[in-house]
Structure 1
Amino acid sequence: MIRLDKYLADMGIGTRQEVKRRIRQGKVTVDGTVVRSPEYKVDEECTVCCDGGRVCYEAFEYYMLNKPAGVVSATEDRTEKTVIDLIGGQRRKDLFPAGRLDKDTEGLLLITNDGALAHRLLSPKKHVDKMYYVRVKGAVTEEDVHAMAEGINIGSSALEEWTKPAVLDIISSGRESAVRLTIQEGKYHQVKRMFLARGKEVTYLKRERMGALALDESLQPGEYRRLTEEELKDLYETDRHA
């Protein structure tokens, strides 16, 4: 059971104060009866309507976002536009990005309010693959492939910080190279630091996959959609087998 005001606020109808006001004004019904008490308890089986429209409760929501460059992976920021700002409509207040992408990094980002799933997907102990498309200055060689496979020291000269083994696939190599890198961690600026440790500068970075969830290439940067039932099932399978 859940309080009526929380039910409505969770579904993005308004803030707790706004929905309390609507309830007290008689604009909310439960199973066809006007309810004026914000504390009234309802469950998912109840038919809740606000201003004549039905409000169906979902405990969790899952969105795939193609994060554009220039947007920060945060729920709120005083000066920068956030990934949550990109989710339009009557969005719920408890959404957050599952993990972070650097401000200038593009690509797959899961937006949800399922904290337990997000924690398991992001835990280093779970070994969930994160695959990135990367462009770097300079030629990427088989020596780089072997080095990445053994783990890279991305620490400072005074402090070592080794990554776990990573898989590097060379797409093209030259004055500017294109590669795909698969890692199982999410250290601060990790991909950039791994290539920097090999003497190469990352010029473009895009996450294409996290576990079984692959970026929908039809989504333009800044666009998003709900996960399909099949994608959500695969994501939970990733969690269980990681």
Structure 2
Amino acid sequence: MPGMRLDKLLTHMNCGSRREVAAWVRAGRVAVDGLICRDPAYKVDPDRACVLLDGQIQAYRAQRYLMLNKPAGVITASSDPRHRTVLDLIPESERRGLFAVGRLDKDTEGLLLLTTDGAFSHALMAPGKHVEKEYLAEIEGTPAADAAERFAQGIVLKDGTVCRPAGLEPVPEAAVQTVRVTLCEGKYHQVKRMLWAVGCEVTRLKRLRVGPLRLDGALAPGAFRDLSAEELSSFGLPVMGQTGIEISKK
């Protein structure tokens, strides 16, 4: 990768604003390959240089890919004057350029991807891609006897919306009445509306999977982590990993 200004690199690492990191460099708080560097314009190779700020190694990320366990009560938006958003769950120093891949309703929980990579988001969310999404839905009421068959055929909702074929199966081991829904699109309130069409009401909804990626069971509600190289590769998409190297499924 061509050389990048040191202050620009530190900004891309989400260390601070361009003005802040330039001041830190001049103050001698930054070292490159073991030597203090006081020149913000000093050119470094992001993939090879070892950059430390206050003695802590800083890792370059060309793009970011995060898994968030979204809690209920938080909206999927970058900002909102009245409601807490998913980006409010991310420390301010790490939010730069992040946006949600698709959306979950305010009261829906579970797997939500955040990224800075627009091409990655489009590849997962574009209607023609048909990426599977899996949900657990706690319900009230008894689904119609032919509910699974109607889901498999593609339900037509009351307003005429045509849904693509989807999966519906009970989860008998759950403590309350629960069904598993698997679909490959994301229309407005789709899971709730489809279940309503077969005679039941969703009281809690949680997304467990997007494509090959499952929600990390170790993530508490509101917690997040970076996707691993293996998880990124599992999508079979060309994406930019943490070192700026293209990753694709072999």
TM-score by length of 2: 0.81
Residue in structure 2 matched with residue 106 of structure 1 by the alignment: 109
Matches for 1:52-63 after TM superposition, within 5 Å: 52-63=55-66
Q: Which moved more, 1:9-18 or 1:119-128?
A: 9-18
Distance 1:155 1:170, change over 3 A: same
Q: CA–CA distance in 1 between the matches of 2:21 and 2:207?
A: 38
Give the total of aligned pairs.
234
- Quick check: 1:155–1:162 contact (8 Å CA) kept in 2? no
RMSD: 2.7
Residue in structure 2 matched with residue 16 of structure 1 by the alignment: 18
Residue in structure 1 matched with residue 88 of structure 2 by the alignment: 85
Q: Which moved more, 1:232-241 or 1:207-216?
A: 232-241
- Quick check: 1:132–1:208 contact (8 Å CA) kept in 2? yes
Structure 1 residue 92 displacement after superposition: 4.6
Q: CA–CA distance in 1 between the matches of 2:53 and 2:127?
A: 43
Q: CA–CA distance in 1 between the matches of 2:75 and 2:96?
A: 18
Q: Find the partner of 1:7 among 6, 9, 12.
A: 9
Distance 1:24 1:130, change over 3 A: same
Distance 1:231 1:25, change over 3 A: same
Q: CA–CA distance in 2 between the matches of 1:92 and 1:82?
A: 12
- Quick check: 1:26–1:36 contact (8 Å CA) kept in 2? no
Distance 1:16 1:236, change over 3 A: farther
Q: CA–CA distance in 2 between the matches of 1:16 and 1:72?
A: 30
Q: CA–CA distance in 1 between the matches of 2:218 and 2:145?
A: 33
Residue in structure 2 matched with residue 220 of structure 1 by the alignment: 220
Distance 1:126 1:100, change over 3 A: same
Structure 1 residue 165 displacement after superposition: 1.0
Structure 1 residue 12 displacement after superposition: 1.4
- Quick check: 1:10–1:92 contact (8 Å CA) kept in 2? no
Residue in structure 2 matched with residue 72 of structure 1 by the alignment: 75
Q: CA–CA distance in 2 between the matches of 1:8 and 1:155?
A: 53
Residue in structure 2 matched with residue 131 of structure 1 by the alignment: 134
Q: CA–CA distance in 2 between the matches of 1:207 and 1:58?
A: 27
Structure 1 residue 72 displacement after superposition: 1.3
Residue in structure 2 matched with residue 169 of structure 1 by the alignment: 169
SS in 2 for 1:13: coil
SS in 2 for 1:236: coil
Q: Kindly, what percent of the aligned residue pairs are identical?
A: 46
Distance 1:53 1:41, change over 3 A: same
SS in 1 for 2:194: helix
Distance 1:92 1:70, change over 3 A: closer
Structure 1 residues without counterparts, runs of 5 or longer? none
Structure 1 residue 120 displacement after superposition: 0.6
